[in-house]
Every structure is written in structure tokens, then in C-alpha cells.
């Protein structure tokens, strides 16, 4: 997760991060990614069931009851495990999490145990009443997925009218005083929607927008139908940089983030280097602390049946089950070769990633994408859009001091 707005337009500094000690327990949520101890943010797919049918759904969810999902009591036990382990954030996801009748009760319990609770939802079920219940449950943030404006979003989500319902869900959250933001997944089918999303953010006064790069999993698998050429991705990231700056120039300090393509970090650094070398070096240090891809390190996933995965896209690879062992024990256990590799992967990476000068701030990007495209977990990530020249030129000495 790359905080484009604060790094490119704001003045986030190493000093501000150091003031909080770089420890998970003492850091505000927006700075957690710079922590030294890297306690994992945990995505819990509370249920696989969903009322929409999105073209890129990594859980391949449908509107049906799935068997053997964690019960309410097992959910409470999971939350206790995460709180005891010191996970800072619980992200309630799905399927559609609000389909699960007890999800806000679980959210309230997690907030009471000191976790910051976030809901990732399609927004269509957030009625006015539900929004106030979300507020009461002390949910810190609601991320609503929108993959385009009007019919584009509906086509993406497989249900006519989904856009209007999601937008109403956003408005209901704002009325109830719940912090709400957008989640947009960039694909070949909606690449022309980014400017419209920025317009919507401005018109609706939405405080945060996250642009997700596609990770090839589930229905979002690696096909020409949905995957973009790296060069196109790069130009869209540049567009996001430009539109973020325009918001700032208008005095709107909207949070803008990109997620799931860690080549964005060196790209942002090189962009800054051309304009303001001193600021670029400060940002480079922050990017080093961020560390690039954190699958198996600072991001983890528990699926609807209690299986633990190195991130939400590794559903094909389980590290254990929270019904049998506490999450913390599973997370610390490096007897699984994939988990051991993800925690310390630099020597395993192949090809251009292995010699890239930006390895420290990218960490080899997304291994799920590499495996989906080539069949090899440690192969280069095909979504990297940096040129060979860019990744091989020496890093300025002051950047790594
Ligand atoms: S070559 Fe690999 S490590 Fe370097 S920026 Fe690209 S994805 Fe990241």
C-alpha cells in the first residue's frame, strides 16, 4: 500500500514516523506500514457468499450458502487470537461481509479488544440504518468497491443498479459519521474510468481512494480479457499521480493510495527525483521502512473456514487452521517453505527482480502474480513496468545511507 498523496504531495517525514517509535503498538493507523516490528494486518474473509458477481473476484464468490464457515464463537476466538498476538488491524472482507448477520457484532467485539476494524464491502447493503449500526460497532473505516461510474461498474459487478446502491451506501456512511472511501481495481475493462473516479471523489467529498492493481487470482485470472500491458499500467499510475496533485492544488487533502504493485514505489521515487531530489531522498527512506510487498510478513489472511494464508490471494496455499492452532503460532512458524521464503525472499527471487536496484523498496512485488503467469513462485512479477535501464542504474548513495 503506497500513500501517494502524503509521499508525493504532502510532507510526511521520517521524523514524524520516528516520533511514534516505529512500533506497531504505538503507531497511528496511517503510519503502521512504516513500523519496524511489522505485526500483520489480517484480512478475514468472514463469509464467501456475495450478492454480486464481479468479473475479478479473487474468492470466486456466488450468492449461495457455503459450507463449514467459522461460527460466531469461532469468530470470537479468532479475534481473541489476533488481539493476543498484537495484530493492529482486522479487515472484515468476504464475499460480502455484510451478508453475514453477526458481522457487526464481531466488529464491535474486535474493536473492544483493541483492534482497528475495517470493512471491505461492495456497499450495496449499507442502508441508512446499517450505516448507523456500523458507527455503533466502532468500525474505523469502510472501503466500498467501485470499479467505474454507472453502467461500467454494473457490468463489472454483474448486477444492474449496483452502482447506485453502492453510492447510496457511501452517502449513508457519511451521514452516519463513518469514514468511508473507494476501492477501485485497475483492469483492461475499466482503465478509462480513473478520471471519473477522481471527479466522484471530489463531488461527493470522499476522503480516501485506493487504486488496486489486479492480482491474478480467482475470477481475476491472468487473461488478456482483463490484464493490462505494463506500459499501460505505468501511464495510469502517472495519471493517478497527476490527478492527486490536482486535488492538492485545489486544497483537497484526499488520501490517495495505490495497492498491490510495488513497482509504484520506485516509480514514485524516480518521479520525485526529477523534481525535488532532497524530498526524493526523504521519501526513499520511508519506502525502505515500508519494505514493498509484505505478504507473509505484515499482511495475512484467514479465510471463511479458518485456513491461514500468506495474503488473501494465496487461497491455494494454507499454512494451518485457526480451529487447530492459534493464529500467532501459525504466523511465526516458518517450517512451511513458502512462508519461510516470503519472510526472507531476496535470495530466492529470479530474473530481473533478483538484481533490481529497487529490491529493498519493492521486495520482488507480488509472488501470486508471478506464479499465475509463469508457474514459478519466485519468477519476476509480470506486472512490473519499470525498464531494464531503470532497475539497473545505480541508486544514488545518499538514498541508501
Ligand atoms: S524488477 Fe522486480 S523488484 Fe524490481 S521493481 Fe520490478 S518487480 Fe520490483
pLDDT score, position 396: 55
User: Which residues lie below 8 Å from residue 319, measured CB to CB, with a gap of 6+?
Assistant: 307, 308, 309, 310, 330, 331, 333, 336, 339
Task: Identify the sign of the CA torsion 121, 125, 103, 117.
Answer: positive
pLDDT tops 70 at residue 397: no
**First-to-last C-alpha distance (Å) of the chain:** 24
Ligand 1 center from residue 213 Cα (angstroms): 15
CA atoms of 22 and 189, how far apart (whole Å) = 40
How far apart, in whole angstroms, are the C-alpha atoms of residue 361 and residue 168? 38
Residue 370 beta carbon below 6 angstroms from any ligand 1 atom: no
Q: CA-to-CA distance for 321 and 319, rounded, in angstroms?
A: 7
**How far, rounded to the nearest angstrom, does the alpha carbon of residue 47 sit from its chain's CA centroid?**
19
Residue of 2, 292, 381 with the most ligand 1 atoms within 8 Å of its CB, for mutation: 381
Instruction: Determine the average pLDDT of the residues in 232-237.
Output: 97
Q: How far apart are CA 145 and CA 56, in angstroms?
A: 12
Taking the centre of ligand 1 as the mean of its atom positions, its distance from the CA of residue 78, in whole angstroms, is 35
- pLDDT value for 10: 87
Distance separating alpha carbons of residues 83 and 89, to the nearest angstrom:
9
Which pLDDT belongs to residue 244? Answer: 97
Query: Could you tell me which residues come within 8 angstroms of residue 211 by beta carbon, excluding any fewer than 6 positions away?
Result: 184, 186, 194, 240, 256, 257, 258, 259
Residues ≥6 apart with Cβ < 8 Å to 157: 52, 53, 54, 122, 147, 163
- pLDDT reported for residue 91: 98
Q: Is the CB of 391 under 6 A from ligand 1?
A: yes
Using the 8-state DSSP alphabet, how is residue 157 labeled? Answer: H
CATH of domain 2-333: 3.20.20.70
Q: Residue 401: its pLDDT value, please?
A: 40
Q: Domain extents for the chain?
A: 2-333
Would you call 104 helix, strand, or coil by DSSP?
helix
> Would you say the C-alpha torsion 203, 233, 5, 57 has a positive or negative sign?
positive
Residue 358 in contact with ligand 1 by CB distance below 6 A? yes
In DSSP terms, 44 is beta-bridged to 92, 302
Residue written as cell 548513495?
397
C-alpha atoms less than 13 angstroms from C-alpha of 401 in its C-beta half-sphere:
6
Query: For 208-222, how does the pLDDT look when each residue is reduced to its tens digit (9 = 90+)?
Result: 999 999 999 988 877
* 100-110: average pLDDT: 98
* Angle, helix 72-85 to helix 103-112, in steps of 10 degrees: 30
Residues 6+ apart with CB under 8 A from 80: 113
- For residues 87-120, one letter each, b for 16 or more C-beta atoms within 10 angstroms of the residue's C-beta and e for the rest, the string is bbbbbbbbbbbbbbeebbebbbbbbeeebbbbbb
Q: What is the pLDDT of residue 62?
A: 92
128's CB contacts (< 8 A; 6+ apart) are 172, 175, 176
Q: Residue 398 pLDDT > 60, yes or no?
A: no
Ligand 1 mutation pick, 284, 351, 362, 376, max ligand atoms within 8 A of CB: 362
81 close to ligand 1 (CB < 6 Angstrom): no
- The model carries a pTM of 0.95
143 close to 210: Cβ distance less than 8 angstroms: yes
Confidence of residue 400 (pLDDT cuts 50, 70, 90): very low
d(CA 88, CA 342): 21
Residue nearest to atom 5 of ligand 1 (CA): 263
Ligand 1 centre distance from Cα of residue 352 (Å): 7
pLDDT digits (tens, 9 = 90+) for 337-359: 999 999 999 999 999 999 999 99
For cell 463449514, name the residue.
Answer: 68
For range 384-399, the mean pLDDT: 79
Cβ of 386 closer than 6 Å to ligand 1, yes or no, is yes
**Going by CA atoms, what residue is nearest to atom 6 of ligand 1?**
384
**Secondary structure (H, E, C), 141-155:** EEEEECCCCCHHHHH
Kindly tell me the sign of the dihedral angle through the C-alpha atoms of 112, 171, 102, 68.
negative
Cα-based angle 289, 361, 275 (whole degrees, multiple of 5): 95
Q: Per-residue pLDDT averaged across 165-172, rounded?
A: 98
Residue 242: beta bridge partners? none
**Separation of alpha carbons 299 and 296, rounded Å:** 6
Q: Using DSSP bridges, classify how beta strands 208-213 and 255-259 pair: parallel, antiparallel or unpaired.
A: parallel
pLDDT of residue 385: 98
Q: How far, in Å, are 213, 229, 355 from residue 350 at the CA level? A: 22, 21, 8
Q: Which of 247, 238, 109, 119 is nearest to 186 (CA)?
A: 238
Whole-angstrom CA distances from 255 to 4, 6, 79 are 8, 7, 28
CB 300 within 8 A of CB 310: yes
Q: pLDDT tier at 393 (50, 70, 90 boundaries)?
A: confident
Amino acid at each position: 500500500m503506497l500513500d501517494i498523496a502524503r509521499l508525493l504531495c504532502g510532507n510526511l517525514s521520517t521524523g514524524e514516523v520516528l516520533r511514534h517509535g516505529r512500533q506497531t503498538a504505538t503507531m497511528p493507523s496511517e503510519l503502521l506500514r512504516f513500523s519496524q516490528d511489522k505485526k500483520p494486518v489480517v484480512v478475514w474473509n468472514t463469509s464467501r457468499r456475495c450478492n454480486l458477481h464481479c468479473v475479478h473476484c479473487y474468492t470466486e464468490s456466488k450468492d449461495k450458502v457455503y459450507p463449514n464457515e467459522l461460527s460466531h464463537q469461532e469468530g470470537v476466538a479468532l479475534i481473541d487470537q489476533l488481539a493476543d498476538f498484537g495484530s493492529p488491524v482486522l479487515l472484515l472482507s468476504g464475499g460480502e461481509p455484510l451478508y453475514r448477520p453477526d458481522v457487526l457484532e464481531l466488529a464491535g467485539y474486535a474493536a473492544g479488544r483493541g483492534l482497528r476494524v475495517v470493512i471491505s464491502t461492495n456497499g450495496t447493503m449499507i442502508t441508512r440504518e446499517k450505516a448507523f449500526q456500523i458507527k455503533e460497532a466502532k468500525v474505523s473505516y469502510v472501503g466500498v468497491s467501485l470499479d467505474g461510474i454507472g453502467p461500467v461498474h454494473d457490468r463489472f459487478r454483474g448486477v444492474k443498479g449496483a452502482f447506485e446502491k453502492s453510492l447510496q451506501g457511501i452517502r449513508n456512511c457519511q451521514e452516519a459519521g463513518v469514514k468511508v472511501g473507494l476501492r477501485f481495481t485497475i483492469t483492461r475493462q475499466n482503465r478509462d474510468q480513473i478520471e471519473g473516479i477522481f471527479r466522484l471523489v471530489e463531488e461527493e467529498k470522499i476522503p480516501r481512494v485506493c487504486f488496486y492493481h489486479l492480482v491474478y487470482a480467482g475470477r481475476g485470472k491472468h487473461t488478456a480479457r482483463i490484464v493490462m500491458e505494463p506500459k499501460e499500467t505505468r501511464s495510469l499510475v502517472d495519471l493517478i499521480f497527476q490527478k492527486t496533485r490536482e486535488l492538492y492544488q485545489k486544497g483537497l487533502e484526499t488520501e490517495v493510495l495505490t495497492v498491490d504493485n510495488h513497482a509504484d514505489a520506485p516509480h514514485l521515487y524516480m518521479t520525485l527525483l526529477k523534481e525535488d531530489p532532497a524530498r526524493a531522498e526523504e521519501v526513499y527512506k520511508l519506502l525502505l521502512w515500508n519494505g514493498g510487498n509484505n505478504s507473509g510478513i505484515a499482511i495475512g489472511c484467514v479465510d471463511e473456514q479458518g485456513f491461514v494464508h500468506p495474503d488473501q490471494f494465496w487461497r491455494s496455499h494454507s499454512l494451518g487452521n485457526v480451529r487447530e492452532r492459534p493464529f500467532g503460532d501459525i504466523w511465526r512458524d516458518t517450517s512451511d517453505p513458502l512462508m519461510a521464503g516470503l519472510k526472507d525472499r531476496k535470495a530466492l527471487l529470479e530474473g530481473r527482480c533478483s538484481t533490481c536496484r529497487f529490491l529493498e523498496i519493492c521486495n520482488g512485488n507480488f509472488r501470486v502474480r508471478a506464479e499465475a503467469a509463469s508457474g514459478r513462485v519466485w519468477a519476476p512479477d509480470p506486472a512490473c513496468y519499470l525498464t531494464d535501464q531503470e532497475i539497473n542504474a545505480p541508486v544514488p548513495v545518499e538514498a541508501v545511507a
